[in-house]
Amino acid sequence: MKNKLPGEFQLINLLSRSLRQAGEPGVIGVGDDCAALPLGEQMQLLTCDAAVAGRHFTPGLTPWETVGWRLGSANASDIAACGGTPEWALVSLALGDEIEPGELEALYRGLEEAGAEYGYRIIGGNVSGAEQHQINVFLLGRTARFVARGGARPGDLVAVSGDLGGAEAGRRIFEDSTGNPPDSPVERPLLERYLRPRARTDLAGLLRETASAAIDISDGLAAELGHLAGASGVRMEIESALIPLAPGLREWAALRGADPLRLALGSGEEYQLLLTAPAEHQRLLTEAGISIIGRVEEPSAAPPERGEPVAESGEVLLDGRPLPPLGWNHLGWNHLGWNHLG
């Protein structure tokens, strides 16, 4: 039966129109990686993420410790993208009958390892039964300056941390290996990028200092470029030759008959940071290992009014041509599913 709901970002728009909008000064709601509340001279950051069996992981194949690490990293990445530091977490579990106590212990080892890596502590939560396993993490953080998606301005640089494409290659390797570690020295580090992604909390301070807008790459570079451009009401012009590819990606893609650039554009769960910044900060960015991949330009059409629901995509050109929003769709019922790259 065909699902009657719209795509992910159309659904967010639909739901946000049903909400009573926060009217308190300084409150930031729907449309960014985190919500935020005034906290003295700082901002309290709030975010949540879920891992659902059969969609985000496969029981019996995905190690439970890996599930915990990946979910902890996803939440920490949202905090980092807003220029913040993670602090406290709540975990809500909805579990099927077949889970073993040892599997739950492994899940929490992964969550605790992520907490130790990123600096947050788990302080409570909730437990319930369910038809399929669902793990939800609610993470609190704080920042001295909130970095939003909607601050990009014409003349800004477009930049990305780290390198891309490894998570999508690793996902394919993982599914092909059916849980057995690959022997190839090229495949092993790519698989690690999928199983143990690392949120760039180390760059939060640099974002606060330099970024005009930012987002984490959880849905794919092409999709995130569209989110930034749409939220800021600008056009982004990107050069494909400047997009940093994961080590070994070209070699692996050649063996698989895949396009490494297409992998880098659509690879979700990278948890690198995509940002814009005034050109005066270029040296600081490059010294931190951040690659400049393009520039922000004036939009071809009028920008959206402030306060409008977040756009599904913005105006993004790759080598002068419109870039479709390739990437992961959490609802999984339109063209943005995992297998869109072929």
Q: 249-256 and 187-195 are packed helices; what angle lies between their axes, rounded to 10 degrees? A: 100
Nearest to 28 by CA among 82, 104, 80, 86: 82
Write out pLDDT tens, residues 44-61.
Answer: 999 999 999 988 898 888
Q: DSSP letter string over 184-246?
A: -TTHHHHHHHHHS----GGGHHHHHHH-SEEEE-SS-HHHHHHHHHHHHT-EEEE-GGGSPBP
* pLDDT beyond 70 at 116: yes
Domains 23-143 and 149-341 agree in fold: no
Cα–Cα dist 249/260, whole Å: 6
Cα–Cα dist 156/211, whole Å: 9
Write out pLDDT tens, residues 281-303.
Answer: 999 999 999 999 999 999 876 54
Share of the chain above pLDDT 90, in %: 73
> What dotted CATH number matches 149-341?
3.90.650.10
pLDDT of amino acid 315: 92
Structural tokens at position 157: 């640089």
Q: Which residue has the higher pLDDT, 195 or 338?
A: 195
- Structure confidence at residue 335 as a pLDDT band (50, 70, 90): very low
Cα–Cα dist 325/334, whole Å: 12
* pLDDT beyond 80 at 181: no
Q: Poorest-confidence range of 50-54, 120-124, 333-337?
A: 333-337
Domain positions in the chain: 23-143, 149-341
> 3-state class of 14 per DSSP?
helix
Sequence-distant (6+) residues with CB within 8 A of 260 are 165, 245, 249, 250, 253
Write out pLDDT tens, residues 201-227.
Answer: 999 999 999 999 999 999 999 999 999
- Structure confidence at residue 26 as a pLDDT band (50, 70, 90): confident
Write down the mean pLDDT value for the chain. Answer: 87
pLDDT of amino acid 300: 79
CATH H-level, domain 23-143: superfamily? PurM-like, N-terminal domain (3.30.1330.10)
Other residues' Cβ atoms within 10 Å of the Cβ of residue 105: 11
